[in-house]
Structure 1
C-alpha cells in the first residue's frame, strides 16, 4: 500500500503486533531459593522467639506504653499535700498571674521575683505534677493547658492588673500567658481590657448618677401636670381679682 505526495510514492509501514500470553505466578507456593541462599537463611534464622509475634502493633506502641506507665504511676502523698496548699493559695487570691519562663538562671528569676514582689505579687513554688493534682476536677481545670512547659505562678490579694501589665514589659525571661481574676480565667487581651476600665468608685458614681437621673426624670414627669395646673389656677385667680380691686378703688368713700 502506498500514497502519492508531490508526484512521489510514499510507502506505509504497518506495525507487526503479536500477542503473548504470560503465565500468572502462583503466590501461594514459595519459590525454592538457591542452595547457598537457603543455607544463609537457615543460619540467620533467630533462635529465640519474637516476643511481639502475633500481637497487634498498637499493643507494643512506645507512646501507648509511656501513657500507661504515667497512668499507673503512684501519687506521692507529699505532692498531694503541696497540691492542696497551692490550690488554697490560688483560690483565696484575687489575682493570679501565670508566666512562661524562658531559659534563665536562678539569679535572673530571683531578680524578676523581687520586681513582682514590689507590686505585692508573691511567688508560688510548684511543678507541673503538683498543678495537675491541684486543678484536676476543679473549676480551674482549664488552666492546666498553660502548665505544659516551664511555667511560674504569682498570686496577690490586690487587683494590681495595670501595674502588672506595665511591669511585665520590663521583665526579661518571663512572658505573661494569662491570669485568674477573682476566680475567673482571663487571657492577656482580657486583662488589658480590664485594666482599661475605670476604677470601681468611678463606675459606682456613674451608676448612681444614671439611676438618680432616671428617678428625677420620672418625678418631674409625674409632677409636671400638677405644677402646670397650679400655675394656671394662680393666673386665673390673679386675673379675676384685678377687676374687683379696680372697682373698689373707683367707688367714692
Structure 2
C-alpha cells in the first residue's frame, strides 16, 4: 500500500484559501481611502470649464472665427460641377431620387436598364450641385440635397418606362422632378407618365378635328339635300297624269 501511494501523484494543499469577507461592503458611505490614494484621485480628477451657453458672445466670437474652415479650390469639383450643369441643360427630364440602403448587386441591373432606355443615373454631392446650379434657373433644387443625391437624366417620353424600372426596386424612391423646365412632385410625375405619347395625342387631335369638320359639312348639306328631295317630289307629283272620272 505504501509503494502504491509513492507511485500516485499527491495532491498539494493550497497555501492561500479564498474566504468571503466577514462583513458587508458599505456602498452608500464607503470608508475614506488612504492618503496617497486620495491624493492620486484628486490629481487625476478632470477639470471642466463653464458651459458655452453661459459665456458671452464676445468670448465665443474668436473661437468661431478660428474654427471656420477655409474653402479650397478643387479643380476636380469644378469639372464635376460643369458636367452636372451640362446634364441639366441637355436633359428635358430630371428626376431626383431618395436612395435607401441598397447593395451594388441590386443597383447594377437598374443602372443597366436605365442606360438601355436612354436614361442615365448619376450621383452628385450637395457641394457639386450647389456649384453647378448657382445663379441658374435650377438653383431651387438645392433644397432637396442634404448629402449625396442620385439623379436620373433622360427625356420626357421615357417617363413611363422609368416608373416600370423603379417599381422592381423599392429602395429607390422618387421625390420630385423637372420636365421641360417645370418642377413637378411625385404625384404629377406619375400622372404625366400615364399620358399617351405625343404621336398618339396628335392622332387623337386630328381625329377630333376631322370628325368636327365632317359633322359641320354634313349639317350644312342636310338643308339643301332636304330641299332638293322635296322639289323632286313636287315635280314628280306635278308630272304625274291626272286620272279622268269617265
**Is this contact kept in 1: 2:110–2:165, CA < 8 A?**
no
Measured in 2, the distance between the counterparts of 1:242 and 1:219 equals 34
Which residue pairs with 1:199 in the alignment? 197
User: What are the Cα deviations for residues 14-43 of structure 1, in whole angstroms up to 9, with x where unaligned?
Assistant: xxxxxxxxxxxxxxxxxxxxxxxxxxxxxx
For structure 1, the residue ranges without an aligned partner over 5 or more in a row are 1-51, 248-253
Measured in 1, the distance between the counterparts of 2:241 and 2:91 equals 81
Measured in 2, the distance between the counterparts of 1:107 and 1:202 equals 38
1:123 aligned to 2:121? yes
Tell me the CA shift for residue 61 of structure 1. Answer: 9.5
Q: Secondary structure at the match of 1:211?
A: helix
Q: TM-score, normalised by structure 2?
A: 0.63
**Aligned in 2, Cα 1:69/1:183: closer, same or farther, shift over 3 Å?**
farther
Which residue pairs with 1:210 in the alignment? 208
Which residue pairs with 1:180 in the alignment? 178
1:235 aligned to 2:212? no
Tell me the CA shift for residue 148 of structure 1. Answer: 1.9
Tell me the CA shift for residue 193 of structure 1. Answer: 0.6
**Is this contact kept in 1: 2:93–2:153, CA < 8 A?**
yes
Measured in 2, the distance between the counterparts of 1:61 and 1:206 equals 69
Measured in 1, the distance between the counterparts of 2:199 and 2:162 equals 21
Aligned length: 191
1:133 aligned to 2:113? no
Measured in 2, the distance between the counterparts of 1:75 and 1:239 equals 102
Over the aligned positions, Cα root-mean-square deviation in angstroms equals 3.5
Q: TM-score, normalised by structure 1?
A: 0.61
**Aligned in 2, Cα 1:238/1:79: closer, same or farther, shift over 3 Å?**
same
**Aligned in 2, Cα 1:172/1:115: closer, same or farther, shift over 3 Å?**
farther
Which residue of 165, 168, 189 maps to 2:166? Answer: 168
Measured in 1, the distance between the counterparts of 2:178 and 2:159 equals 11
For structure 2, the residue ranges without an aligned partner over 5 or more in a row are 1-54
**Aligned in 2, Cα 1:60/1:238: closer, same or farther, shift over 3 Å?**
farther
Which residue of 94, 97, 102 maps to 1:99? Answer: 97
Q: Secondary structure at the match of 1:152?
A: strand
